[in-house]
Structure formats: C-alpha cells, structure tokens
Amino acid sequence: MAARDLQERIKRLIIDRRLPSGAPLPPEPALMEYLGASRNSVREALKALQAMGIVEIRHGFGTYVGPMSLAPMIEGLAFRTVAGHYRGEDSLLQLLELREAVETGLVSRLAGRIPEADLVELDALVDRMEHEAARGAGLAETDRAFHATLYRGLDNALLSEVLEAFWDAFHRVRTDLGGVPQDPRVTCRQHREILDAVRSGDARRAEEAIREHFGNIRDRLSTPAPHAPRSRHDERV
C-alpha cells in the first residue's frame, strides 16, 4: 500500500472515531492489522503525519492525536518567503497582500460591532504603542496584540489561527529581508485610525484605514534598506 494511502487511512480513522487532540491512537499491532500494512510502513506513515502536527508520537507511551496546529504552515510560509526573496521574487510582498486581503475583508464586518470591553483593550494597546514609540522601543508585540484583539469578536478560532500564522511567517522574515523602517509615530496613528473607524461603525472608513496601513508597509518593503544584511541571511532564517 502506498505511503500516502496509509496516511489518508489513519486520518480517516481519527475522523471516523471522532478522536480529539490528545486522544490515544490504537497501538502499533492493532494499526498494522487494521491497515493491513507492515510495521515499517505504519511507522513511516505516522512519522509523516507527526511532521504535519496530525499525530504525536510519544516514545515509550504510544501515538496520540496531535495538536493539529498551523505550525507546519508557518514554517512553510516563512521558508517559502525567504527562499523566494533570494530567487528574486516578491514573496514578502505577496504574503503581505494575502494578509491585507483577509483583514480588509474582515474589518468591515467589525465596524460598530466590537464589544465595549474589547474597545477598551484596543484603546489601551494603542496607548501602549504610543508610549513604546516615545521610548524608542519596538512595537511588534503590541501591534500583534492589537490585530488579534481586533478580530477576536468574530469568535472564529480557525480564523484567529490563520491570522496568527500569517503574522508569524511575515514577521519572522521581514527583518531579515530588509526594508525601510517605519516611523513609529505613523504606526501609532494608523492603528488609532483603525480603532476610531471600527468604533464609529463606518465600514468603508475601516477598510480604508486597513488599506492605508498595509499600503504603507508595502511602500517600505518596496524600498531597499540602505544596509540590508543580505550576505548572512541564513543565520536568521
């Protein structure tokens, strides 16, 4: 039986038995009998599924349903982006466009619908950005928290994971690939504008605020950094 077929049958077993993350899979002899495959074939299929986060092999204990996280997707996006960039492709810009398309499509649904508690938290995050900017500190983590909080009200766990995956992949490689640094005051102003727009309930204004934010990032990525550290990129991938 082909390795791919074995992987698909193990995945089907997890689905058919409604096994949640952390649930044990049948022991190896039972899997061999169920699949009609050799020990080596079963082990290779399980290793492949472990690389995808679908199963987790705990040596000495057995095999369990994995966390099914998007970590493999993040790794793939980050590597593809860096590799594409050094082949002369606009891979980081392409990833940015993907993020922009998702967020622009979502923000209009949030206008006027964000719970007051989340608005208070978003206000506090923009305030923190402004304090960080005044100190010359980095804004990345506060920026990340802002976007996560902004879309939290949609109550879509998969969406949150996908946005986190885009964020991780983009920010893991952006510094390495260079670009002109953003003025932190501009970052703060743009996030304040996004917040004001969604609070006001103006969906079009909210979309424009998101587009301006991403457009500014796109402009900076399109401008080479004066001393981009290209020669040692492999050390930071």
- The per-residue pLDDT for range 100-118, each reduced to its tens digit, is 998 998 898 898 899 999 9
In three-state secondary structure terms, 99 is helix
Cα 6 from Cα 12, distance rounded (Å) = 10
pLDDT of residue 68: 82
Q: Tell me which DSSP letter residue 200 carries.
A: H
Categorise residue 94: left if φ over 0, alpha if ψ from -120 to 50, beta otherwise. Answer: alpha
Cα 122 from Cα 178, distance rounded (Å) = 29
Do residues 113 and 203 touch, judged by C-beta distance below 8 A?
no
Q: pTM score, two decimals?
A: 0.72
- The C-alpha R_g of the chain, in whole angstroms, comes to 22
pLDDT of residue 230: 41
Do residues 132 and 188 touch, judged by C-beta distance below 8 A?
no
Count of C-beta atoms within a 10 Å radius of residue 126:
21
Low-confidence ranges of the chain (pLDDT < 50): 226-237
pLDDT of residue 27: 94
Cα 13 from Cα 36, distance rounded (Å) = 14
